[in-house]
Structure 1
């Protein structure tokens, strides 16, 4: 085996004997920089402080010192919260022969998984194979991490020639890099090239994703239906298929798709959460209750628990008329979650739903006031919860509270509550007067932010200026002055600091909207030319 003296390894296993055995095996393979965690929570805390080359994780973390979370859920948290990178080797260790657990682990694509019992040579061989692959791919990963996607794309071809055994890995990585810079057609061509040689599920899924990105949801849906029929364990295909159903106005089909996925792989918390949300929207309270009960149970030992899961479970139970059950969920929320303003908002909102169901309108209104007050101090609440809270406030004639919740949601540019969504809440409630008032406030704030952006730009803070411009766009998305300022500011940043695909897409969208709203605008032609110059400068196709 190669020189492993500098490798760092984290063992995640609740069994002290197994940790000792693994450390001994690693030492025999020349790996001495080894640390341990007895459960998922400890692993998360250690990975938040430092990175490791290799993670050896027991699937069943519910042993004597475990915290109930399994290895699949830990991997889900680590990937979602970006506590591990593409170059981190994650090897799942399991003696479980249970079908759905193996599928769940596989769908989150650990680097490898090893069935117990295994020998020193077997573990060493798996680690060696993973290290060889990492060494081949690392230069491309590093270029991508440095913000040089076009160089990384070019490096894929060179690296594939040097390491032909990983040719498919490089094709896949190249396609993903094209997607990262918005070149979906080029990525699609690579996926089609792969599919012409071999019917690989990841290539079909990648092609479907490029179709969705290009607005071809119907074609993507047809492809995904074929994919899940041919590859019933390709779990991510079900998630994308559900999204396509939603985009095409078929929420019942989306729910049915996720229900099928959950029946095959029942451990993915985020899929269960999405299924519960769809069921609530579709008026299927029993299905929503089943899903959120599982979410609350499975996430109980996660470092990233979300009190909104309890709120949604309360909604489902209240809708079904299960008042005692809903009260029990609220008590569990109070006992089991850390105190925080987010928890205060969720607890008060849940109590309001319960009091409303019990016919206590005055108590419900009081809880809604408390929830709205707490929500104004929390950035982490979802748009879904904020909108629901505002609607509930309006139903109780709590106009000021509803306006405050929506205005704060709008001021949080990362919160994804758009101006149209915010004002739509009031229009649907029969309160266009409140919508007009909010519109005036948002336009005034947008003008202030344009001035702030000018000041930052004059001080040389190009990124800060763009951030202020994006906040102004969030406040007043239909304002021509804001559109022009946002497109111009982004193009200035791209010119000075390098290509940023996400920002470039925003600029392109604003130019398109400007052209549709005012084809003769005096700044339109110049912005179009600046955008083309930027693409030529950085070698962006199209």
Structure 2
């Protein structure tokens, strides 16, 4: 097997004897580029420095003492996927002798390339590697196009490869559907999944179909698809997660909580699911379930290289709601001991401490902690919009009106936050502060008007792409502003007509026209903009969309 000599392998296993055995097995297939990691932390640090073709990972990454002294292979894979430390073409094979079914199913749901139950022979290991390498070779040219950002070329190549290579036709179709989904062409992705299901009724295609329908806001259809999937595959874990979110989208929060509880019973080790359960339980007022879920999240994430201090805040918030100041204070002390100081950790500690101080009636201390959090937010990176909105609520409770308004305006101006003008105004309205909501709306209107004027100047100077970028930024702040929608659609159409048809921009324009139609079917510009859109399509030979 000389063709494997260029492959690099990372063995993740705390047991030196097992590392030696695996090294010997790999050597029999001419694989000599072998490195070791003895824990999830060392594996993450090595993978952050350079990629490996194959990762052979032991499921039980403890030291054999039975103590929870590190991440297991499932949690490591979860981190690697979530933080994109392994590429789509990396081969990840889980090795386990674990007899507990919940853990095994947990590893399986995270879709490693393969997994092997110990003990296994050298032949079985090399057979699995050979199969994975062969498949990777077929897909590598497409993965490389994706890596270069040529997603549409990759989609076209998937279709061509599907016809040329019947052995992997379904796999190429699956990748094509996933790529279409990634660029928000959900209708086309939905059709690909339907084709797959006519060819082979596989569970993942049902899940993909449901994801498309969820993304298209066809919540009832998504729900029906997922319920049918779980009737046939009651241990298909990702379906539970999406079904819970579908229930939430339909306002059925108790049903969402029940679905997540059922999923945790089957596969109790997925940190993100436990976090989701805690959030839904808190929203429904089930403090007991929320407390248990967030405690497990904090415990299971303890040895992750990517610990999130927001998990401690959520647990403190739950304990405060329960009225347990003693436990809440203990969680804060644990945060201080076990997490290295950083802007994110310091802000989270201040928010949590402010909650406990307010609960204890120490209002001056609570206000001081809130000010520490407010002053530290600007230096943070990656804190969730939800946490910052929670900080706004805390400011409102403490009568820190100006700080609340400033925080919300900054959140609005952060393109990554996903918080729109409507979201910001609603936060203040729900808090009973119509005056602040009105003030926020006026400030945002001024900003939007300034951006529309800036885009108009850019357009008049022939800077069409810059004008589109300006209006797109404004739309993130006020996606329901009709004058802005009209100006953005008009400018996009001008660019398409003058500079040539670009499919993504054309799709974005279609979306804006549909939004105008939903908000105001009699909008005076709608008919003209629609006619211009179809004229530009015909000009460049694009099939007209009804």
Query: TM-score if structure 2 supplies the norm length?
Result: 0.90
Residue 540 of structure 1 and its aligned partner are, at CA, apart by 10
Aligned equivalent of 1:265: 267
1:171 to 159, 173, 177: 173
* Aligned residue in 2 for 1:63: 63
CA contact 1:376–1:408 (8 Å) conserved in 2:
no
Which of the numbers 525, 528, 538 marks the counterpart of 1:521?
Answer: 525
How do 1:6-405 residues align onto structure 2 when only pairs under 5 Å count? 6-63=6-63, 68-405=70-407
Shift of 1:260: 0.5
Contact 1:491 / 1:530 at 8 angstroms: preserved in 2? Answer: no
Greater mean alpha carbon deviation, residues 272-281 or residues 48-57: 48-57
Partner in structure 1 of residue 4 of structure 2:
4
Q: How many residues align?
A: 540
**Given the superposition, is the C-alpha separation of residues 182 and 323 from structure 1 closer, same or farther in structure 2, using an over 3 Å criterion?**
closer
Which deviates the most, 80-89 or 376-385? 376-385
Classify the secondary structure of the residue corresponding to 2:168. Answer: helix
Contact 2:538–2:544 (CA<8 Å) still a contact in 1?
Answer: no
Distance in 2, matches of 1:17 and 1:94, equals 15
1: distance between equivalents of 2:487 and 2:46?
43
Q: Cα distance 1:63–1:536, how it changes in 2: closer, same or farther (>3 A)? A: farther
Distance 1:494 1:87, change over 3 A: farther
Q: 1:171-228, CA deviations, whole angstroms, 9 ceiling, x for partnerless residues? A: 2223223333444344333333333454321111112122223322112212211211
1:409 alignment partner, one of 408, 411, 414: 411
Q: Quick one: structure 1 residues 396 and 21, their matched pair in 2 at CA, closer, same or farther if it must change by over 3 Å?
A: same
Helix, strand or coil at the partner of 1:246: helix
Secondary structure of the residue aligned to 2:260 is: helix
Cα distance in 2, alignment partners of residues 250 and 149 from structure 1: 36
For 1:182 and 1:533, the matched residues in 2 are separated by 24
Offset, 1:443: 2.6
Please list every run of 5 or more consecutive structure 1 residues that lacks an aligned counterpart in the other structure: none
Within 2, Cα distance between the matches of 1:316 and 1:235? 26
The answer to which of 306-315 and 354-363 deviates more is 354-363
Cα distance, 1:326 vs. partner? 0.5
Cα drift, residue 394 of structure 1: 0.9
Retained in 1: the 8 A contact 2:55–2:92?
A: yes
Q: For structure 2, which runs of at least 5 residues remain unmatched after alignment? A: none
Task: Give the direction of change, closer, same or farther, for the CA distance of 1:497–1:264 in structure 2 (3 Å limit).
Answer: farther
Measure the CA separation in 2 of the matches of 1:96 and 1:118. 14
Aligned-partner Cα distance in 2 for 1:106–1:380:
29
SS of equivalent residue, structure 1 residue 55:
strand
Please, what TM-score do these two structures have when normalized by structure 1? 0.91
Deviations 1:98-134 (A, max 9, x none): 2011100100110001122223222111111100111
